Structure 1
Amino acid sequence: MAVLATLAAALAGLLLLLVLVPAATAQLVPFLWDDLVAFGTMVRSALRCRRRLSRRPAVTLLDVFQLHARRRPHQPLLRFQDEIYTYEDMDQRSNRAAWALSRHLGLESGRTVAVFLPNEPTYVWTWLALAKLGCPMACLNCNVRGRALRHALEAAQATLVLASPELREAVEEVLPDLERDGVRVFYLSSASPTPGVEALLPTIEAAPDEPLPARHRASVTANSKAMYIYTSGTTGLPKAAVITELKMMMVASLGWMCGLRPDDVVYTTLPLYHSAGLLVGVGGCLEVGATCVLRAKFSASQFWADCRRYNVSVIQYVGELMRYLCNTPKRADDREHGVRMALGNGMRAEVWKEFLRRFGPVAVWEFYGATEGNAGFINYTGKVGAVGRANTFIKLFAPFELIRYNVEEDEPVRDERGLCIPVKAGETGLLVVKITKNTPFHGYAGDSQKTEKKILRDVLAKGDVFFNSGDLLMMDHKKFIYFQDRVGDTFRWKGENVATTEVEATLALVSFIQEVNVYGVAVPGCEGRCGMAAVRLKDGATFDGDKLYTFTRDTLPAYAAPQFIRIQDALEITGTFKQCKSNLVKEGFDPSVIRDRLFFRDNARKSYVPLTPDTFAAIQDMKLSL
C-alpha cells in the first residue's frame, strides 16, 4: 500500500504540471493525459479496496452492500421479469437464508458451499447469505454434468450443494455418488421433485430477518477465499479459480473505474456462474449502489425492448452477444433507448463499428482479463478493436510483457541465455504478467499441477516469475493492445472457453470412434473459433451421424459440441505423441480442398450430415447461421 501511496503523490504533482501545459503535452505525447487519468483512477480504486480490507474488522464488498442498504433501503438492487428487490429486501432475504443455513444445516464459517443455480434472484441473496456466514461460494457452471460436476465439488472441497429443481436431471445423475461421498444436496425451492433431497425455501422463509452476529465473519481478511469460479474446463474437468476478498472487490470496482454511477441501471444476460455476470455486473452494482436488471438467458429479439422497459443505462456484453444484436433485422426504433455505456469483452472491430452505426453513440468500455489472472486491461480511450493500452504508469504497478511464442511447439521462444524474447510493436506475442505482491496469482483450488502450468519462470531475468495468460495479443506502434487468439488446447466459441482435451475425452466414449482430435476453426462472421473434430473410426465401424448428434446433445454443452466432423484414416502426431492441430486448423472445413469425408451438425435434422459444397458456400456467405 505504501508503494501505491507514493505513486499517487507523484501522480498528483505530474497532473498539476500537465494542467499548466495541456496543449504542448498533447502534441509531444499523444494519449499521455488519458494514460495518466486512467492510472490515477486505478490507483484510487486499488487504494480504496486495500484500505477497506486492512481495517479490523475488514470492510468487504458485503459491508459496502449493507451500507447502501442502510442509506437507501428502498433503492432497487435487482429487477427480474416483473419482480423488484430493493437493497433492504435483499438484505433481509439473505439474513433469513443465513439463519436457516446456520441453524437448520449447522453451516459453520469457512465451509465451502456450492451453488448450482440458473440466473435468478435466488442466486444473489444466496451469495450474500453465504458471505454473511463467512462461507466461500463455489459457482457451479449450470452446463456441467456427471464426472465434471463431481470434480468441481471435489476441487473446492464443497460438502453442501444448494441447487435449483430446474437442474434436477443433473443433480439426480450424480446424487448416489454425492451421498456416498458425504455431500448433502438441497433445493432452494418450495417443493422437491427428487426423493431424498429437501426443499429449503420454507425453512428460509420462516427464519428471522435480523442481522447475524459479527462473529461469523470475524476472521475474514483481504486474502480470505470469497468464492471459486470455474474456468476453461466447462466441457469436462473444470478448474476452480480462487477469488479472494480483495480480488472480488477489485473486480467489482471495474464498473466504477469505467464511470458506473449510483443512478445507473445495469442490464446483464450473462450467466452468474461467470465472473463477468456475477462480479462485474451484480458486484459492480453492489459497489456503487446501482440497480441490476437480470435476465435468465440472452434474447437478441427482446434485448432492446428490455432496455426500454427497465430504463437501462448500462449493458454488459461478450463479443458474440453484440454480433447477435447486429444480426437482428433493422428496426425504426433501433436508437430509441437510454443506454449510454456498454461494458464487456471480446468484441471484434467490425462488430464494434456496426453496433455504433446502428444503435447510436454508446460509450464502449472493452476490457481484457482472465478469471484467474493477476492483471488486465481496460480500453479507456474507446479505440475501436483494442482491449487497452500499454500504459507506462500502470506497467510500473503491474509489469507485463508480450513474448515470442511458438504455436507449433506450444511454448515460449527462448534465447541463448534461456530467457524469453519480447516481441516488437506490430508482432503477436504471449501475454505474461509478473507475479508480485501487488499482482498475486492464487491459482486453482485442489490442482497444484494446473496452477504450476500457469506459472512461467525465467522470463526476463533468472528467477523471475510470471503468470502465463495463455492468450496471444499484439501491441501496435501507438501502444494500443489487441487480442489475437488463444494458445494451446483451448478456443472460444459463443462466449465460452472450450477445452479441446475434455471434448476429446467425451467423444472418445462413442462406440465407433477410435481416436479424436478436437480444434477450433474460423467461421466467417463469427467470434472466436467453431469446434471441429478429426476422427479415426474403429476398424470395421461406420460413422453414425444420428447417434453422434444424440450423444453430443446429451453429454456436452451446445457451445462445445463440434459443428464439423472430419473422418481420417490416421491422425497426425508429433515425435512426442502430441496431436498435430495446426494443419487441420489451416485446412478448415472446405469440401473442395479436403479429400476426407466431412460432416456438418444439422440441428434441424438432429444429425451430423455430409457437408456439401452448397452448405459450405452458405456458411461462407453467412447465409447459414451457426
Structure 2
Amino acid sequence: MKTSRRDLTAGWRFLGSNIALRSIMWRRKTVPMLFRDRVKQHPHKTMFVTPEREWTFQDVEDYTSKIANYFLQRDLRAGDNVALVMENRADVVFVWLALSKIGVATAVVNYNLRQSPLLHCISVVNTKAIIFTPQMAPHIMEITASIKDKREARFFIYGESEMYPQFPGENILANLDSMPSELPSYRGSLDDNLLYIFTSGTTGMPKAAVIKHLRYIFCGIMIHHMMPLKSSDRMYHYLPLYHIAGGVLGTSQSVLFGLSGAMAPKFSASTFWEDCIKYQCTVTQYIGEICRYLYNQAPKVTDNQHSIRLMFGNGLRPQLWMDFKNRFRIENLRELYGSTEGNANIINIDGTVGSVGFVPTICRVSPFLASFIYNLNIIKIDPESGTPERNKRGLCVRVRPNEPGELVASIDKKPQCRFDGYTDSSATTRKIYRNVFRKGDECFASGDILVFNNDGYLFFKDRTGDTFRWKGENVSTTEVEDVISKYADLSDSVVYGVEIPGLEGKAGMAALLDPAQVVDVNKLLECLRKELPAYAVPLFIRIAEKLEATGTFKLPKMKLMREGFDIKSFEDPVYFLDQSEGVYVRFDQNLLEKLVNKELRV
C-alpha cells in the first residue's frame, strides 16, 4: 500500500509511452517525418527563440530542407556520415535534422575538444564531410593535414570565414538562397543511424554511441510521458547539444512533440532565472553542478518570479535538494538516470529526495515477472577487480536492499531493451555481460554503482571503472594519462577522481612518477590546456616518488584514490590549480583547510 500509488502512476505513464511508441513503429515514422507532422499541426508556432531571431516550425522545415537539398547536390547520400563541430546554438539541431532528411547521420562533436581528441572524434566515425563554424575553423586548421591522411573528407564552413579565406571549405550559407525548400523524397527507416553522440566510457578516447531514429524517439517519448510534459510547455535550453541530455532529451520535445523552446548559447548562473522569465519558460533541465552554481548566487527577487514548474536532470545532491527546491519554488524536481549509449534508464517521478528512480514492488517480489516488464537489476561487484561476483553456477548475484552493486539492464529486441552500442565493436563488446541470470543472456553493464532501499527507491553511489564526473562532464582517466605521457616524458602516471567536501562529482588528480622532481608542472599545464577541455585538466598534481605496480602490472589507483589530496597521509608534494592565478601552486595545510571550508574557488 505504501508504494502502490507510485507504482500505479508509473505503470499508467509507462503504458501510455509504449502505446505512443508502438503507434510510431507501426506507422514507420522516422524523426523528420514526425517533425513534419508537427509542422502541419502548427506551422506558425514558435519552435526556437534564439538571441538572433525567432524560428517557427515552418521556418525550420523550409530551412532544413534547403540544407538537405544543398548536401544532396554535393553528393551526400543515405548511409553517409558527417562530423559537425559547432558551438551551442539552434543550428546544431537544424543541421542534423536536415541531414536526416536525406538519410545522413551526424556525429555531434564536443566543441571544447582540441587536437588529438578532436581528430579522434572526427576520424572514429567514417565521415564523408566535416561541417564547422568560423569560430571552430582555427581548431580544424590544426588537424587538417592529419584528417586528410586518415580519410578523404570534404570541408564545409557554416558561415563567412574572413580570417581563413584560404581554407579549402565551401561556405554553406552563401549557397542556401538558391536551394529549393521542397522536402527531399528520401523516406528512411527507424533502424537508420540518426546521430553519433560521444561518451567518455570507462577507458580511452571518447567513443561514438550510435543513436538510431528509434532510440531518439524512445528517449523523447519517455521524457514526455513520464515527467509528464504538456504541449503548452516552453523549454529553456542551455545544456550542450553534443550531450544526450541537451541534444536528445531536450531537443526531442520540440522536434517530436512541438514544444516551443528558448536557446541560450551557454549556461550563465547570473542570468539563468532572468532568461527563464524573459522567454516565459515553464520547463528546463539541470545537472548537479548547475543547481549548485545557481544556489551559490546571491539571492535576488528573480529567484522565484519565473514560471518554471519542472526541472529534470541528474546529479542533484540530496543535501541540496530541498533547499534548492524551496528557494527557487520549483514544484517538481525530476531526477533521472541513464547513459548516452545504454538501455538502463530510470526516472524519479514523485520527487523522493536523492532518488534516481525506483524498482516497482511487483518486480522485487517476483524476479520472474520482473523479467517481462522491467529490464533493470543490480548485481554484486568485486570492489577490487570491478567485475561481477558469480555463484557456483557461474551466474551473477543480485544484491539485497541497501546493498550496493552495479546496475545492469537486460538486452533484447524490445525498444526499451535494445543496445545499439558504439561504432567500435570491441568497445560495444566490453559493455556487455553474458550469462548474467541464465545461460546465454546478455546485459548492458552500466559501470555505475547504485543501491535500492526497502521501498525500492534507487540511489546513485559511484562509478566503476576509470571515468569520473566533474562539472557535469565525464572525464576519461586514460585520455588524460595519454596526454600527460605525451608531454611529460614520465615512465608512469595515474589519473583518478577525488571527492571534495560539498561539491558534486570528483575532481581530477594526477600522480606522476618523478623521483627527482624535475617536472615543471606549469609547463605541463600549458600542454594539457592545448589538448584537453578545461573540465578534464587535473585540479591536483601529485609528484610521486614511487608507484608500485601490482602483480598484473596495474598501478595502485585504489590506494591513491583513498589518499586523495590529504597531504598528511603521504610525503609526496602536491600542486593545486589556483583558479584565480591560473597556475599550479604548492598545496599546503593552509590551502587544504581553505578547500575543506569551501573558501577556494574550484
Instruction: Settle same-fold status: TM greater than 0.5.
Output: yes
Q: In the TM superposition, what whole-angstrom CA distance separates every residue of 1:453-502 from its partner, at most 9, and x where no partner exists?
A: 10101212222211100000000011000011100111111111111111
2:253 is the alignment partner of 1:284 = yes
2:425 is the alignment partner of 1:448 = yes
2:372 is the alignment partner of 1:372 = no
2:19 is the alignment partner of 1:47 = yes
Counterpart of 1:459 in 2: which secondary structure? coil
Take 1:416 and 1:426, find their aligned partners in 2: how far apart are those partners? 24
Q: Pick one of 10, 13, 19 that aligns with 1:38.
A: 10
Counterpart of 1:159 in 2: which secondary structure? strand
Counterpart of 1:624 in 2: which secondary structure? coil
2:530 is the alignment partner of 1:554 = yes
Take 1:450 and 1:308, find their aligned partners in 2: how far apart are those partners? 44
CA drift at 1:587: 1.2
Q: In the TM superposition, what whole-angstrom CA distance separates every residue of 1:25-55 from its partner, at most 9, and x where no partner exists?
A: xxxx222122122122223212322331333
Take 2:248 and 2:237, find their aligned partners in 1: how far apart are those partners? 11
Counterpart of 2:487 in 1: which secondary structure? coil
Give the structure 2 partner of residue 129 of structure 1.
98
Q: Pick one of 381, 387, 390 that aligns with 1:414.
A: 390
Take 1:384 and 1:205, find their aligned partners in 2: how far apart are those partners? 52
Counterpart of 2:428 in 1: which secondary structure? helix
Within a 5 Å distance, the mapping from 1:383-532 to structure 2 comes to 383-392=352-361, 395=370, 396-438=372-414, 439-445=417-423, 447-511=424-488, 513-532=490-509
CA drift at 1:512: 5.0
Take 1:260 and 1:513, find their aligned partners in 2: how far apart are those partners? 53
CA drift at 1:106: 1.4
Give the structure 1 partner of residue 222 of structure 2.
254
Contact preservation (8 Å) 1:549, 1:606 = no
Q: Pick one of 173, 177, 198 that aligns with 1:201.
A: 173
Counterpart of 1:514 in 2: which secondary structure? coil
Give the structure 1 partner of residue 136 of structure 2.
167
Q: Indicate the larger mover: 416-425 or 145-154.
A: 145-154
Take 1:137 and 1:361, find their aligned partners in 2: how far apart are those partners? 35
CA drift at 1:532: 0.3
Give the structure 2 partner of residue 94 of structure 1.
64
Contact preservation (8 Å) 2:288, 2:315 = yes
Give the structure 2 partner of residue 592 of structure 1.
568
Change (3 A) 1:254 1:205: farther
Count of residue correspondences: 589
Q: Indicate the larger mover: 357-366 or 394-403.
A: 394-403
CA drift at 1:430: 0.4
Give the structure 2 partner of residue 315 of structure 1.
284
Take 1:571 and 1:69, find their aligned partners in 2: how far apart are those partners? 61
Contact preservation (8 Å) 1:471, 1:485 = yes
Give the structure 2 partner of residue 574 of structure 1.
550
Counterpart of 1:553 in 2: which secondary structure? helix
Q: Indicate the larger mover: 540-549 or 616-625.
A: 540-549
Higher relative contact order (CA 8 A, sep 6+): 2
Take 2:160 and 2:66, find their aligned partners in 1: how far apart are those partners? 15
Change (3 A) 1:502 1:350: same
Change (3 A) 1:236 1:561: farther
Counterpart of 1:255 in 2: which secondary structure? helix
CA drift at 1:178: 2.0
CA drift at 1:245: 1.2
Take 1:62 and 1:540, find their aligned partners in 2: how far apart are those partners? 60
Contact preservation (8 Å) 1:518, 1:533 = yes
What one-letter code is carried by the residue in structure 1 that aligns with 2:558? S
What one-letter code is carried by the residue in structure 2 that aligns with 1:255? I
CA drift at 1:82: 4.4
Take 1:115 and 1:512, find their aligned partners in 2: how far apart are those partners? 33
Change (3 A) 1:224 1:82: closer
Take 1:526 and 1:460, find their aligned partners in 2: how far apart are those partners? 37
Give the structure 1 partner of residue 302 of structure 2.
333
Take 1:197 and 1:388, find their aligned partners in 2: how far apart are those partners? 47
CA drift at 1:546: 2.1
2:154 is the alignment partner of 1:154 = no
TM-score normalised according to structure 1 size = 0.91
Q: Pick one of 38, 51, 55 that aligns with 1:68.
A: 38
2:165 is the alignment partner of 1:188 = no
Q: Pick one of 50, 60, 63 that aligns with 1:80.
A: 50
Q: Pick one of 190, 193, 203 that aligns with 1:225.
A: 193
Give the structure 2 partner of residue 25 of structure 1.
none
What one-letter code is carried by the residue in structure 2 that aligns with 1:34? R
Give the structure 2 partner of residue 544 of structure 1.
520
Q: In the TM superposition, what whole-angstrom CA distance separates every residue of 1:239-281 from its partner, at most 9, and x where no partner exists?
A: 1111111111011123311121121110121110111111111
Change (3 A) 1:554 1:607: same
Counterpart of 2:552 in 1: which secondary structure? coil
CA drift at 1:163: 0.7
Contact preservation (8 Å) 1:430, 1:472 = yes
Counterpart of 1:205 in 2: which secondary structure? coil
Structure 2 unaligned spans of 5+: 364-369
What do you get for the CA RMSD once the two structures are aligned?
1.7
Counterpart of 1:144 in 2: which secondary structure? coil
* Percent identity (aligned): 36
TM-score normalised according to structure 2 size = 0.95
Take 1:118 and 1:384, find their aligned partners in 2: how far apart are those partners? 34
Q: Indicate the larger mover: 366-375 or 477-486.
A: 366-375
Take 1:326 and 1:235, find their aligned partners in 2: how far apart are those partners? 33
Take 2:334 and 2:222, find their aligned partners in 1: how far apart are those partners? 10
